[in-house]
Amino acid sequence: MKRYFFQFFLLTVITFFFTISCAPPKLDPLSMQIKQEDQEQVVIPDACKSQYKSKIYRVAVVPFLNNTIYGEMTVRNSQIEGRADINRRQAGAAGVIVGPGAAGLGYAGASRTDIKYSGNVNTFMRQIAPKIGEFAQSAVENTIVNLGGVDVFTRSQMQNVLDEQNFQMNLADQNTVVKFGKLAGVDYIISGSVDYINARYIPQTKFKDTGNAWLNLTQAVAKSMTEGWNVTTEMTIQLIDVATGQVLVSKKVRGRELGGVQPAFNPELIISAAKKAMGESVTDIKSVFSEIFNARGYINQLRGGKSVALISIGKSDGIKPGDTVEAYQFAAIKDFMTGEVECYKSTIPVNMIVTNQVNQNSAWVIIKGNESAKSRLKVGTLVEKAPYEGQGLLDKLY
């Protein structure tokens, strides 16, 4: 009980300060005037016009390989009913000391308990099908959908292609996976594997009162984050370009979760904790994939002397209040030796935060930065949703 109380207390305090500091700004944009500088329009060099083209990519996430020992398994359960006569004796002895997470030689004061039992013991078997690979597939699908700018090929669509083409897909064969992608008409395939699930038991220790409230809290939090079954996971996630068959991204993500404090090994609790750890670990692919599947638009209107802007991307592109948007300036630069004109893309150093005013295909942002940087913003300036970050500290700990 203490464990969960301190977890709840810590998370409540952190959430309170996080909510205050990170709440999306509120805005009434139409109350702000359009000034003369707000009407400036960008001139797009011919070499840079292709940068404004935005495409919704079709992506299929195939089931992941399960390379762990946690496949389908049979679990034995016993129900005991009856009467026991217990006779306990105390003794001191030297010998082998064994306990959850520890074993060795030593001397211990031991108690011997003789039990005479009479009654019924009912044993039955249960089948567990954890479906680790399918869960990893779902976790990645959910993450990709929330990025915006992506049309995810559903499982039913995937099965229809397999049935119609009488196609057998070997997940371990990259060429077969690419062939499926071409049959399905998708741009990218996301595949991967669950490489390991490791469970290690750390025994509970007695709480020691230090006499200091903050030290006691720190001690309690540390205990709550480490004691019990520590379950760690590792997955490999790959992004394959269907047109070329090349692996564009190959990233390992790791997760950690607690799977109960009782020393008895429970495979169902371990699997449940592993799935939660896997679900949190796929957050680490956001930073990489959001750069590839990035929502892209432009400034449609500026107000208040370039203090706010209406951008052409919104809910349908995965834009949410509080998101960060980046703005870019272009220049056509002629190569000194070849004479070829190339487009140079430069980030404008302003901070653009999405407000509470988000529509399906547009959103208002507040612009912060020095006046020199803000002056470079114009109607038509290219904007992109900033790449996501991976797991935070609390995600990795809990």
CB-neighbour burial class of residue 176 (10 A; exposed 0-12, middle 13-18, buried 19+) = middle
Same domain, 268 and 301: no
Kindly give, in sequence order, each residue whose CB lies less than 8 Å from that of residue 143, ignoring residues fewer than 6 positions away.
282, 283, 285, 286, 289
Tell me: pLDDT of 80 over 70.
no
Domain boundary among 291, 322, 342: 291
95: confidence class by pLDDT, cuts 50, 70, 90: very low
CATH code (residue 357): 2.40.10.410
CA triplet 117, 103, 259: central angle to 5 degrees? 75
Residue 326's contacts (CB-CB under 8 Å, 6 or more residues apart) are: 347, 348, 352, 383, 384, 385, 386
What is the mean pLDDT of the segment spanning 25-52? Answer: 94
Read off the pLDDT of residues 132-150 as tens digits, 9 standing for 90 and up.
Answer: 989 999 999 998 888 877 8
Tell me, yes or no, whether 338 lies in a domain: yes
For the chain, the three-class secondary structure string (H helix, E strand, C coil) is CHHHHHHHHHHHHHHHHHHHHHCCCCCCHHHCCCCHHHHCECCCCHHHHHHHCCCCEEEEECCCEECCCCCCEEEEEEEEEEEEEEEEEEEEEEEEEEECCEEEEEEEEEEEEEEEEEEEEEEEEEEECCCHHHHHHHHHHHHHHCCCCEEEECHHHHHHHHHHCCCCCCCCCHHHHHHHHHHHCCCEEEEEEEEEEEEEEECCCCCCCCCCHHHHHHHHHHHHHHCEEEEEEEEEEEEEECCCCCEEEEEEEEEEEECCCCCCCCHHHHHHHHHHHHHHHHHHHHHHHHHHCCCEEEEEEEECCCCEEEECCCHHHCCCCCCEEEEEEEEEEECCCCCCEEEEEEEEEEEEEEEEEECCCCEEEEEECCHHHHCCCCECCEEEECCCCCCCHHHHHC
Distances (CA, A) of 89 to 97, 99, 111, 112, 118: 18, 20, 6, 5, 21
Q: Are residues 299 and 381 in the same domain?
A: yes
pLDDT at 92: 39
Q: Are strands 102-128 and 150-153 parallel, antiparallel or unpaired?
A: unpaired
In a domain, 396, yes or no: no
Q: What is the dihedral of CA 105, 106, 109, 114, to 10 degrees?
A: 20
Mean pLDDT confidence for 103-116: 41
- pLDDT digits 0-9 by tens, 345-369: 999 999 999 999 999 999 999 999 9
Are residues 168 and 267 part of one domain?
yes
Domain final residue, candidates 291, 310, 337:
291
- Between 87-96, 302-311, 328-337, the lowest mean confidence (pLDDT) is in 87-96
For residues 201 and 313, give the distance between their C-alpha atoms in angstroms, rounded to a whole number.
Answer: 48
Inside any domain, residue 156: yes
Distance CA 358, CA 385 (A): 14
Do 367 and 377 contact (CB within 8 A), yes or no?
Answer: yes
> Would you say the C-alpha torsion 24, 28, 34, 39 has a positive or negative sign?
positive
Query: 291, 312, 345 — which closes off a domain?
Result: 291
- Mean pLDDT along residues 325-342: 94
Same domain? 316 vs 283: no
Asked if residue 305 and residue 272 are part of one domain, the reply reads: no
- Per the CB < 8 A criterion, the answer to whether 311 and 298 are in contact is yes
| 211 and 316 assigned to the same domain | no
Side chain identity at residue 12, one-letter code = T
Residue 100 has pLDDT above 90, yes or no: no
Domains: count for the chain: 2
- Does any domain span residue 377? yes
**Could you tell me if residue 364 is inside a domain?**
yes
Q: Which residues of 311-320 are buried (b: 16+ CB within 10 A; e: fewer)?
A: bbbbeebbbe
Overall average pLDDT of the 32-47 stretch: 95
Domain region containing 251: 58-73+128-291
Rg (CA), the chain: 29
Task: For residue range 168-201, list pLDDT tens digits in order.
Answer: 777 778 888 898 899 889 999 999 999 999 999 8
